Amino acid sequence: MLGELREIPAKPVMGAYEARYGIPELERNLSELSLEVRSLEETYRRAQEEYLRAKEEYLFKREEYRTRMEEGSLRGAAPTAASPLRAAMHCINCGQRLVETCEKCGAQRSRFANYCHNCGARVKI
């Protein structure tokens, strides 16, 4: 849309508007529109730069997180399906055991999980 506004001739054909509004008023309106177009272009440019910065930061953090997960250095992070189980073995309130060994692959898994996080085997209840 902004590109289309640039294609408007510098001095448009006035026709009937010249008689009704006069040249000075039309030129003032044209200059106001030109300023508005420049302002919109600048706003768009800044928004696009901000978007690219945010996207670059997101990609960097995602790669950093992936690297740290592979290294096993995500201490204190909540365990996910893709990360090793780093939770407590027993409940701190009642002492109940919170992890079990998967019957299929032997990995530790949450006692309350429906599937093993390591092999995906369904847990028999």
- Concatenate the DSSP letters of all residues of 61-121 into one string: HHHHHHHHHHHT--TTPPP-TTS---S-SB-TTT--B-EEE-TTT--EEETT-SB-TTT-P
CB 111 within 8 Å of CB 102: no
**In the numeric block, which tokens belong to residue 73?**
């250095």
Confidence bin at 10 (pLDDT 50/70/90): low
Average pLDDT over the chain, rounded to whole?
A: 76
Q: Is the pTM of this model over 0.85?
A: no
Average pLDDT over residues 93-113: 82
Confidence bin at 83 (pLDDT 50/70/90): very low
DSSP SS3 for 122: strand
